């Protein structure tokens, strides 16, 4: 791959995840401090990601793959996203904010597939090249968090009182506009589908892969993947406001430790996969979820602040060891014919259905404990710890060990 193309793809990935990390991490904190949103409203805002994940396959499968170059659609979606993000920056109440974030996430979620499509189209050896390109996305997310905490200080107590957290949307709007314009300079990525080729809704949603659920082991894994998204939703929705509320300094910057650990655990994944196998790696991932939430429940911003840092750093183990391992397992189970359908189905089930349920439960639990008073955050974080433990226990009991899965097929 030419160095100029490598640079373009890396910069594309950097901006793609800078845009997401620049506002999504602090969304609940912003909604609470700037718009005085309720827990139900916060859940509604986060749920827009799920609706975006559900609708994204239609935009990709029925439009992007059939009629237009991927890089051009990417550019149009991000320019439109910049306009919507600027409207979120200007919003003064939740009712004025929600319609924009809803439409924005429907437009943004398809771009995650589009940047991959543009990247893979330029690679002769994706197994070797994609990781080196994708890591720039993680760096983009990290840089966004570091800027918010350490450069602009928008998440400290004084700035929150002044309402400066809304500037995250202005920063993201500028980055989204830059990516939108830059996209038109990306390598040409023509539509995949041939003219006149028919495509069904069943194919777009990956429903052809439902036959995998006839396999008892895969069914257990599939259900566990959906259920583990409930604890994941708690982290996305409440980690930043929790850390801000208890007084941890530079909470958004410190949350980037989770993305830094992703890089480390991604490197460790083949070692664990080879040594312990599929089942133990997945059980270890779910155990990390339990430990993470217990650290949040019993840690504090004082002498036990190290527990909070451990909880954040475990994000790499939670995410990589479960979801990446799951993608590899799905890839191997699906076979050559249904690889894309299977990955689409598991993404729809987890980031669509699973997270949607998770955000709703997180808001409901938070609202209930806040009404009761007392040690609110301790109770809020104990709940996802219990869910993760139950899912882990059921998975460990019912999932039967399988032959080793080839790590390089999904890496």
Specify the CATH number for the domain of residue 66: 1.20.1250.20
pLDDT at 328: 83
Dist CA 146 CA 255 (whole Å): 9
pLDDT at 411: 35
Confidence band, pLDDT 50/70/90 cuts, at residue 194: low
In this structure, the number of other CB atoms found within 10 A of the CB of residue 7 comes to 11
Last residue of a domain, one of 123, 157, 188: 188
DSSP SS3 for 195: coil
For residue 198, tell me if it sits in a domain.
no
Is the same domain home to 132 and 215? no
pLDDT at 225: 95
Mean pLDDT of 107-117: 90
Confidence band, pLDDT 50/70/90 cuts, at residue 403: low
Is the same domain home to 142 and 225? no
Is the same domain home to 155 and 238? no
Dist CA 355 CA 289 (whole Å): 15
For residue 233, tell me if it sits in a domain.
yes
Contact 140, 86 (CB under 8 A): no
For residue 47, tell me if it sits in a domain.
yes
Share of the chain above pLDDT 70, in %: 92
Contact 350, 223 (CB under 8 A): no
DSSP 155: T
> How much is the mean pLDDT over the chain?
91
Is the same domain home to 96 and 179? yes
Total-model pTM: 0.91
Confidence band, pLDDT 50/70/90 cuts, at residue 205: low
Which tops the pLDDT comparison, 126 or 192? 126
Radius of gyration of the chain (CA): 21
pLDDT at 132: 87
pLDDT at 409: 40
Mean pLDDT of 117-143: 88
Is the same domain home to 113 and 42? yes
Dist CA 153 CA 159 (whole Å): 7
pLDDT at 166: 98
Domains identified in the chain, total number:
2
Domain, as residue range, for 335 = 205-411
**Residue 144 clears pLDDT 90, i.e. is over it:** yes
Contact 257, 309 (CB under 8 A): yes
Is the same domain home to 236 and 160? no
Is the same domain home to 92 and 119? yes
Last residue of a domain, one of 161, 188, 215: 188
Is the same domain home to 377 and 321? yes
Last residue of a domain, one of 188, 217, 243: 188
* Separation of first and last alpha carbons in the chain: 19
Write out the DSSP string of 32-58.
Answer: HHTT---HHHHHHHHHHHHHHHHHHHH
pLDDT digits over 283-338, tens only?
Answer: 999 999 999 999 999 999 999 999 999 999 999 999 888 988 888 888 888 876 67
Is the same domain home to 234 and 368? yes
Is the same domain home to 323 and 226? yes
Write out the DSSP string of 317-336.
Answer: HHHIIIIIHHHHHHHHHHTT
What stretch of H or E contains 156?
none
Confidence band, pLDDT 50/70/90 cuts, at residue 410: very low
Q: How many CA atoms lie within 13 A of 43 on its CB side?
A: 18
For residue 343, tell me if it sits in a domain.
yes
Task: Provide the token pair at 128.
Answer: 């070797």
Is the same domain home to 266 and 130? no
Is the same domain home to 173 and 47? yes
Which tops the pLDDT comparison, 195 or 261? 261
């Amino acid at each position: 791959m030419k160095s100029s193309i490598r640079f373009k793809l890396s910069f594309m990935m950097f901006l793609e995840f800078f845009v997401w990390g620049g506002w999504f991490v602090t969304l609940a904190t912003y909604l609470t401090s700037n718009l005085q949103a309720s827990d139900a409203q916060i859940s509604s805002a986060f749920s827009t990601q799920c609706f975006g994940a559900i609708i994204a396959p239609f935009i990709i499968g029925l439009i992007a793959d059939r009629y237009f170059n991927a890089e051009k659609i990417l550019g149009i979606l991000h320019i439109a996203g910049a306009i919507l993000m600027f409207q979120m920056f200007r919003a003064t109440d939740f009712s004025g904010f929600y319609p924009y974030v809803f439409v924005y996430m429907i437009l943004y979620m398809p771009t995650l597939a589009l940047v991959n499509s543009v990247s893979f189209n330029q690679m002769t050896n994706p197994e070797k090249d994609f990781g080196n390109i994708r890591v720039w996305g993680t760096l983009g997310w990290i840089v966004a968090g570091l800027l918010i905490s350490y450069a602009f200080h928008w998440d400290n107590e004084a700035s929150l009182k002044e309402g400066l957290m809304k500037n995250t949307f202005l920063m993201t709007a500028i980055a989204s506009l830059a990516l939108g314009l830059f996209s038109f300079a990306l390598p040409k990525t023509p539509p995949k589908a041939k003219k006149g080729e028919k495509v069904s809704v069943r194919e777009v949603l990956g429903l052809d892969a439902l036959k995998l659920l006839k396999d008892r082991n895969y069914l257990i894994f599939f259900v566990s993947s959906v259920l583990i998204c409930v604890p994941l939703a708690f982290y996305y929705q409440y980690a930043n406001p929790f850390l801000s509320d208890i007084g941890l300094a530079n909470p958004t910057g410190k949350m980037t430790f989770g993305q830094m650990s992703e890089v480390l655990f991604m490197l460790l994944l083949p070692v664990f996969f080879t040594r312990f196998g599929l089942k133990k790696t997945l059980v270890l991932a779910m155990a990390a979820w339990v430990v993470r939430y217990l650290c949040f429940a019993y840690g504090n911003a004082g002498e036990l602040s190290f527990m909070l840092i451990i909880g954040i750093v475990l994000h790499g183990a939670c995410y990589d060891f479960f979801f990446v391992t799951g993608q590899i397992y799905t890839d191997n189970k699906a076979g050559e014919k249904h690889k894309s359908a299977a990955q689409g189905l598991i993404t729809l089930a987890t980031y669509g259905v699973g997270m949607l349920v998770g955000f709703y439960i997180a808001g409901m639990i938070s609202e209930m404990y806040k009404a009761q008073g007392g040690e609110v955050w301790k109770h809020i974080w104990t709940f996802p710890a219990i869910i993760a433990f139950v899912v882990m226990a059921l998975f460990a009991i019912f999932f039967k060990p399988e032959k080793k899965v080839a790590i390089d097929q999904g890496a």
